[in-house]
Amino acid sequence: MDETLSTNPLRFETNPYHNILVKDRKIMELTGVKQIDSFDSSEFLMETAQGWMLVQGKDLTLGKLDTERGDVVIKGLIETISYVSNKKGNQKDSVISKIFK
């Protein structure tokens, strides 16, 4: 099921602190999330208090969303977590790099 939200990102209030807790690579708890730009079963693109973050994996789902506090829980197999400087440019690069691997 594709739940991409790229045309209408979720924006919410957040605190200035950003923390990540990963439990057994199956559950990821985040604080300081400003917005979720897009997500599907293999990728989440979010703006955090510390910049844009890309989470990639398999069977990813949104487990919890607290828009008042900026807390997010992602469930599934977490494979990569990265901070990106340009959300649009890096998305294109990752698609191109996947093709040429």
84, two tokens:
């990106």
Checking if the pLDDT of 3 tops 60, the result is: no
pLDDT tens for 58-67 read: 999 999 999 8
Using an 8 Å Cβ cutoff, are 30 and 45 in contact? no
Scan for tokens 């208090």, then name that residue: 49
Q: Which of 64, 61, 56, 73 is closest to 20 using CA atoms?
A: 73
Model pTM score: 0.74
10, two tokens:
């979720």
